[in-house]
Structure 1
Amino acid sequence: MNHDSSLNHNALLYHEKPQPGKIATLITKSFSSQSDLSLAYSPGVAAPCLEIQKNPDDAYRYTSKGNLVAVISNGTAVLGLGNLGALASKPVMEGKAILFKKFGGLDSYDIEVDETDIERFCDTVVAIAPTFGGINLEDIKAPECFEIERRLIERLDIPVMHDDQHGTAVISLAGIMNGCQVTGRSLESIRVVIVGAGAAAISCGRIYRFMGVREIYMSDSKGLIHAGRSDLNAQKLEFAAPEGMNLRSAFENADVVVGLSAPGSFSLEDIACMAPEPIIFTLANPVPELFPEDVRSARPDAIVATGRSDYPNQVNNVLGFPFIFRGAMDVRAKMINMEMKVAASQALAALARAEIPEYLNTIYKTELSFGKEYIIPKPFDKRLIVEVSASVAEAAVKSGVARVANFDLEHYKIDLAKRLD
């Protein structure tokens, strides 16, 4: 049995035994007597129902709403597997629910919506939204995902985020900021090439630009996106280069390349013409555009990151979404705005520069030290929930989208620290 077939066999057993699936519900109150029954259901349950009718915000006081995230997909872009349909996306959505719970302490239900029409999909999500304190959109193909997210943010007053777009953007920005620090660059001075033009690529380009990057070039399967092309949607047009440029000319003296495409979508020859000490992110998963050892054969001076856990500098969305939603929901934010996403990036970057706890060296069997091999924090860094969630919550308060009164940052950090096991 080869490695892939062995992995598939073990994965199927993992999902099937001892009971199918990866998540279940948990009762949070005492429920062992007639008195408990009368409080949990009829007649006692009428009391909180009436209070919520009078004041809808009391749903956060008397129900699980404030700690409950919906992970919602229509299955049109499942991992790197394509349009598998809503039902086949369910294992991924259950997996996302596990990550919310493990890393952010957030409960989660997976919701698979068998609908590809944008308006009907949005109507469905809006109709069920009162149940939840936040909505994580997942595995929805571009360009529909941009319009779906925009409409839901506009129609709902709880945090909504399409993680396929923004997770990679938040974590890669942290890595680029630290890469710039290691190599003596500034965000305003760098030339960035983004290979790929899907949901993650567009979001990456937007957050980099928001943070001051002026020179961004983007390519899709037909080559460099430029003003002379007539086949560009509105999102790609945001990053159209001058007519006459090509991908190789974009790579000339580029400081950063972010691969969000497929194996082989750029080459060793492309990175050979980049600036000294290039920052090279090959984020296609599971097979990157170029493997790190191949990158280093051509550019031994490079900083390299991938989406894989078996190489240094993993750009892993689990560093972002559990803590972004934790912070947003704890201050009852109406939305997740750019300021909150940038705050998450900055907190991640700062954490990688901070002193390394010894338990991380033990977990990862290495001596971590800020530098070319360590510009992005590790997923099992226990400080993530405190530093990232608190930064997001503070940004929500400062940007005016939070609904809590008298937010105390230091008290909130203490409360977050108590969640650590």
Structure 2
Amino acid sequence: MDEDFRRAALDYHRLPRPGKISIEPTKRMATQRDLGLAYSPGVAAACEEIARNPDMAWEYTARGNLVAVITNGTAVLGLGAIGALASKPVMEGKAVLFKKFAGIDSIDIEIDERDPQAFIDTVARLEPSFGAINLEDIKAPECFEIERELRARMNIPVFHDDQHGTAIIVAAAVRNGLLLQGKELSEVKLVNTGGGAAALACLDLLLEMGLKRENVTVCDVEGVVWQGRPGTDPYKARYAQPTNARTLAEVLDGADVFLGLSAPNVLKPEWLEKLGPKPLVLALANPDPEIMPDLVRQHRPDAIIATGRTDFPNQVNNVLCFPFIFRGALDAGATTINEAMKVAAVEAIAALARVEASEVVAAAYGGVAPIFGPDYIIPKPFDPRLILEIAPAVARAAMESGVARRPIADFEAYRRELERFVFRSGNLMRPLFETARSQPRRVVYAEGEDERTLRAVQTVLDERIASPILLGRRAVILERAKSMGLRLDMDHAVTILDPQEDDAIFGPLEELYAQKVGRRGIPPDSAGRQMRVNPTVAAAMLLQTGQADAAIIGGNGDWMRHWHHALDVVGKSPKVSRVYALSAVIVPNATLFFVDTHLLIDPSAAQIAEMTILAAAQIREFGITPRAALLSHSSFGNSQAPSAKKMREALRLIQAAEPGLEVDGEMHADAALLPAILRRAVPSTRLTDTANLLVMPNLDSANIAFNLLKAAADGLQVGPLLLGMNQPIEVLVSSVTARGIVNVTAAAVAQANG
């Protein structure tokens, strides 16, 4: 690394506080009662239950979600045996990855002990503290003995990631690479350089999957590992071949797979012609591979190449699997991580690369999503779907192989539970998804050519929440879907309508639209043209005439313009005086709803009452009990300003119209969000807990507060959702993501089902 990067790395580790991890409480400790429950005397109840039944530790402690990352510092990255203390930054980093990617709490433990048996004894004694052990950066061959004995002694998973994590990703790469090259694993010839812990684990797993031992040749620093070679350790000797060859160059003839886990530049460009047709070249030495990819392309353009580096395609990176393998193992209560679980992880990873890349992956590629092929045979480490595929596969394999103590009864429910690690909106949206899934509806998408829409529609079909109708040019939609690698069935599952070409459908709608807007100064011929060129109008008309059950419009251009077109066609419900907009922001510890964030600049007291009641009804659809706070610069009558009096009057109207709704005000925002302040100010408050619906005196305050919180707390926006429209129609903001479109679709379908 250059000096600037080194300095930046040191600052990263030192500032604003040393290290990369911390411990945070998961329970509230704000009162004397809280402390009594958390420690003495309440903690004794949990201790007694665990003493009676040790399995209760999974219920009453964090053990079931706690992994120890343990090393003795004898093989740290490419730095060698730098010792336990010097390895701590790496182990902290591993702990951070567990938390970041899979929500697993992890503690790093550096043991200053190089004697294998003493190390084993130390780790084995830690079993009561953790749900699993991740061994890390322990040199070979001691790592084999250490892992084997710990697995025998401990009744929790023990997993040496340097071996098995690498093996799982390599096996997935080999699985897909051979698929593209038209070869079978049972038939290929493989040459490995390295012969170390990771290499042998790769070979063992590939044998488990069908590779034949007689087709494997291993080379190390002394050359070919041949039968009878003096000084060969027993682990490596398992792969010794009866051969007279002694050098790497001699054993490359006809090789289908080169697997390098050794040192830079050991594979010479002139040797590449020895490889068989359409070879796989996995040059995984880091940071400098056994051969650079450009040299492979130059000499063997028919090869598929993978490295361990981030700056080349097909990076073999352990973070693709280890957090999610542990997630599945912990959730199933596995006593070990066995071969069946590893193979299940391999197949899940390989399968994920064969479907379309996610929106997150596409963003990392500058908006151009990779498609399964020679430069994309394994997923990217930041693909958010990894946990959704690997963890259930591992948990299922644990159950089928008989090592799961807490079998998962409902894998659909488990998968939905995992979505909280992928989509922050998952828990909030789950009731609406269930409602939509119970009766999928026809949803028309105005911007059918938009890539965000196409990605969303793929998810909508996968989630079975709607039957999509895409508006746009058929050729453009088909080409974009193909270029994005989407699996959309355009002949059956998806309907494509082109307002400018499909006269049989849109021709009759021209006159109807002209009648709707004729009194607004738009002549019939202009209305007809508007029908054909404005997809928002076309979508709204399909909804209005019953050819769709819900409509999703906007996402490009001015939000208000799209809404006005929707209002012209669909209109407001006759049950309300106005239409309002409800927006939600998901922050780390809460979901807060704001109304009205988009439409009514200065609502009256009656309109504030109406929007609050409508918003509360929508919040109940999320499975949440609404608690509304009417916010103001004043608290409970200490100001006679017009806005304060308006909020007081709104409270009176709400209580008269819906006496069962938890609502109070007018109040300061801190009182709404901090119950202790609220109870001190008004002991008789009607709110039983923190408010989750924040009602503002005007649009400025609502929109500003919503966006400030979203930006300051790294909040995730859901909505806006329209309240009071005559039919289910939603207007997307320009910043909406594909997942945001999916969420709004679920809300619209749920409304159509309501």
TM-score of the aligned structures, taking structure 2 as reference length: 0.55
Query: 1:197 aligned to 2:198?
Result: no
Give the counterpart letter for 2:362 in structure 1. Answer: N
Specify the SS of the correspondent of 2:2.
helix
For structure 1, which segment, 65-74 or 212-221, has the greater mean C-alpha deviation from structure 2 after superposition? 212-221
Give the counterpart letter for 1:37 in structure 2. Answer: L
Out of 391, 414, 417, the position equivalent to 1:415 is 417
Conservation of the 8 A alpha-carbon contact between 1:228 and 1:244: no
Partner of 1:274: 275
For structure 1, which segment, 401-410 or 26-35, has the greater mean C-alpha deviation from structure 2 after superposition? 401-410
Distance verdict in 2 for CA 1:388–1:406, change over 3 Å: closer
| % same residue | 54
Conservation of the 8 A alpha-carbon contact between 2:132 and 2:156: yes
The equivalences for 1:8-407 within 5 A come to 8-214=6-212, 215-246=215-246, 247-365=248-366, 366-405=368-407, 407=409
Conservation of the 8 A alpha-carbon contact between 1:323 and 1:384: yes
Q: Deviations over 1:13-59 (max 9, x none)?
A: 11011111000001100001100110111111000001000000100
Specify the SS of the correspondent of 1:208.
helix
Give the counterpart letter for 1:184 in structure 2. Answer: G
Q: Deviations over 1:98-137 (max 9, x none)?
A: 1000111100000000001111101111111211001000
Distance (Å, rounded) in 1 between the aligned partners of 2:240 and 2:208: 17
Distance (Å, rounded) in 1 between the aligned partners of 2:308 and 2:338: 25
The Cα shift of 1:406 comes to 5.4
Q: Which runs of 4+ in 1 moved over 6 A?
A: none
Distance verdict in 2 for CA 1:46–1:382, change over 3 Å: same
The Cα shift of 1:358 comes to 3.2
Conservation of the 8 A alpha-carbon contact between 2:282 and 2:307: yes
Conservation of the 8 A alpha-carbon contact between 2:333 and 2:407: no
Distance (Å, rounded) in 2 between the aligned partners of 1:267 and 1:319: 29
For structure 1, which segment, 257-266 or 352-361, has the greater mean C-alpha deviation from structure 2 after superposition? 352-361
Give the counterpart letter for 2:281 in structure 1. Answer: I
Specify the SS of the correspondent of 1:418.
helix
Give the counterpart letter for 1:120 in structure 2. Answer: A
The Cα shift of 1:270 comes to 2.5
Conservation of the 8 A alpha-carbon contact between 2:360 and 2:382: no
Specify the SS of the correspondent of 1:139.
coil
Give the counterpart letter for 1:224 in structure 2. Answer: V
Distance (Å, rounded) in 2 between the aligned partners of 1:31 and 1:160: 34
Specify the SS of the correspondent of 1:173.
helix
Q: Deviations over 1:157-203 (max 9, x none)?
A: 11110000001100010000000110100100111111101110010
**Can you give the 5+ residue segments of structure 2 that lack an aligned partner in the other structure?**
425-754
Give the counterpart letter for 2:402 in structure 1. Answer: G
In the comparison of the two structures, how many residue pairs are matched? 419
Distance verdict in 2 for CA 1:255–1:157, change over 3 Å: same
The Cα shift of 1:78 comes to 0.3
Distance (Å, rounded) in 2 between the aligned partners of 1:176 and 1:234: 26
Distance (Å, rounded) in 2 between the aligned partners of 1:258 and 1:104: 29
The Cα shift of 1:356 comes to 2.2
Distance (Å, rounded) in 2 between the aligned partners of 1:367 and 1:379: 14
Distance (Å, rounded) in 2 between the aligned partners of 1:262 and 1:406: 43
Conservation of the 8 A alpha-carbon contact between 1:194 and 1:218: yes
TM-score of the aligned structures, taking structure 1 as reference length: 0.98
Specify the SS of the correspondent of 2:395.
helix
The Cα shift of 1:272 comes to 2.0
Distance (Å, rounded) in 1 between the aligned partners of 2:128 and 2:270: 53
Give the counterpart letter for 2:107 in structure 1. Answer: Y
Distance (Å, rounded) in 2 between the aligned partners of 1:228 and 1:6: 50
Distance (Å, rounded) in 2 between the aligned partners of 1:168 and 1:275: 25
Conservation of the 8 A alpha-carbon contact between 2:185 and 2:211: yes
Distance (Å, rounded) in 2 between the aligned partners of 1:251 and 1:208: 19
The Cα shift of 1:243 comes to 3.1
The Cα shift of 1:310 comes to 0.9
Specify the SS of the correspondent of 2:245.
coil
Distance (Å, rounded) in 1 between the aligned partners of 2:352 and 2:35: 47
Distance verdict in 2 for CA 1:182–1:90, change over 3 Å: same
Specify the SS of the correspondent of 1:324.
helix
Distance (Å, rounded) in 1 between the aligned partners of 2:87 and 2:359: 38
Conservation of the 8 A alpha-carbon contact between 2:180 and 2:373: yes
Conservation of the 8 A alpha-carbon contact between 1:195 and 1:266: no
Give the counterpart letter for 1:380 in structure 2. Answer: F
CA-atom RMSD, angstroms?
Answer: 1.0
Conservation of the 8 A alpha-carbon contact between 1:312 and 1:374: yes
For structure 1, which segment, 134-143 or 406-415, has the greater mean C-alpha deviation from structure 2 after superposition? 406-415
Higher relative CO (Cα under 8 Å, sequence separation at least 6) belongs to 1
Conservation of the 8 A alpha-carbon contact between 2:399 and 2:407: no
Which structure has the bigger radius of gyration? 2
Distance (Å, rounded) in 2 between the aligned partners of 1:72 and 1:122: 11
**Can you give the 5+ residue segments of structure 1 that lack an aligned partner in the other structure?**
none
Distance (Å, rounded) in 1 between the aligned partners of 2:127 and 2:40: 25
The Cα shift of 1:245 comes to 2.1
Distance verdict in 2 for CA 1:272–1:329, change over 3 Å: same
Distance (Å, rounded) in 1 between the aligned partners of 2:37 and 2:10: 41
Give the counterpart letter for 2:26 in structure 1. Answer: T
